[in-house]
C-alpha cells in the first residue's frame, strides 16, 4: 500500500526508509523544533527518523506521510482520527524543513491532505493546533485565512482552554 498525492510544489506520500537522512537534516533545526509540540525530539536523530518512518508506514489506516520535495522527504504531515464523541473528527499537523519555508509547500500539503482525509474517512471536522512561535505570530485573521485556505475547521493556539483538541505527534 502506497499513498501518493502529487501537488504543484511537492508530493505528499507514504514514508520510505530512504527518507531518514533527509528527514534528520531538515528536522534537526531549532527553528523547526520550536514550532512543534514538546513530543517532537530535539536533537532529531537518525533513530528518531527511523522510528517515525516505521510508525507512519505501519499505521492502519495510514494517516501520516512524508512531504517530499526534489524526491527527498523534507517534512512530515499527518492526521489522527479521533475517538469516542469526537469520532467524526481528526487533528492535523505538519512540519517542514526550514529551507522549504515560504514556498507554499505547507499550505499546498495541508490542502491536499485535508481533502484526502475528508474524502476517505467519515469525518466532518479537522482541527489544528498552532504552537511555538507560530501561536504568537499568527493573529486571528491569519488563523482565519489558514482555516479558509486549507479547509480546516478549528485552529487554536496550544493551551487554549476553548480547544478540546490538544496537540499530538506533529503540529502546525
Give the model confidence (pLDDT) of 56-102 as tens digits: 999 899 999 999 999 999 999 999 999 888 889 999 999 999 999 99
**What's the predicted TM-score (pTM) here?**
0.78
Give the residue ranges of DSSP H helices in 19-71.
20-27, 30-33, 46-58
User: 73 with 105: CB under 8 angstroms?
Assistant: no
Nearest residue to 94 (alpha-carbon basis) of 60, 130, 121, 53: 130
CB-based contact 12:112 (threshold 8 Å): yes
Our measurement of the distance from residue 40's CA atom to the centroid of its chain's CA atoms, rounded to an integer in Å, reads 12
Amino acid at each position: 500500500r502506497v499513498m501518493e498525492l502529487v501537488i504543484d510544489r511537492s508530493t505528499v506520500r507514504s514514508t520510505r526508509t530512504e527518507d531518514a537522512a533527509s528527514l534528520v537534516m531538515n528536522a534537526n533545526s531549532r527553528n523547526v523544533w520550536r514550532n512543534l509540540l514538546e513530543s517532537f525530539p530535539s536533537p532529531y536523530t537518525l533513530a528518531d527518523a527511523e522510528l517515525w518512518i516505521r510508525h507512519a508506514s505501519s499505521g492502519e489506516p495510514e494517516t501520516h506521510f512524508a512531504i517530499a520535495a526534489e524526491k527527498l522527504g523534507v517534512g512530515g504531515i499527518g492526521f489522527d482520527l479521533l475517538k469516542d464523541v469526537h469520532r467524526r473528527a481528526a487533528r492535523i499537523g505538519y512540519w517542514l524543513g526550514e529551507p522549504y519555508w515560504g514556498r507554499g509547500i505547507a499550505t499546498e500539503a495541508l490542502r491536499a491532505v485535508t481533502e484526502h482525509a475528508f474524502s476517505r474517512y467519515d469525518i466532518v471536522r479537522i482541527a489544528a493546533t498552532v504552537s511555538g512561535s507560530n501561536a504568537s505570530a499568527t493573529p486571528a485573521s491569519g488563523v482565519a485565512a489558514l482555516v479558509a485556505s486549507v479547509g480546516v475547521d478549528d485552529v487554536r493556539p496550544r493551551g487554549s482552554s476553548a480547544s478540546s483538541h490538544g496537540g499530538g505527534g506533529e503540529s502546525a
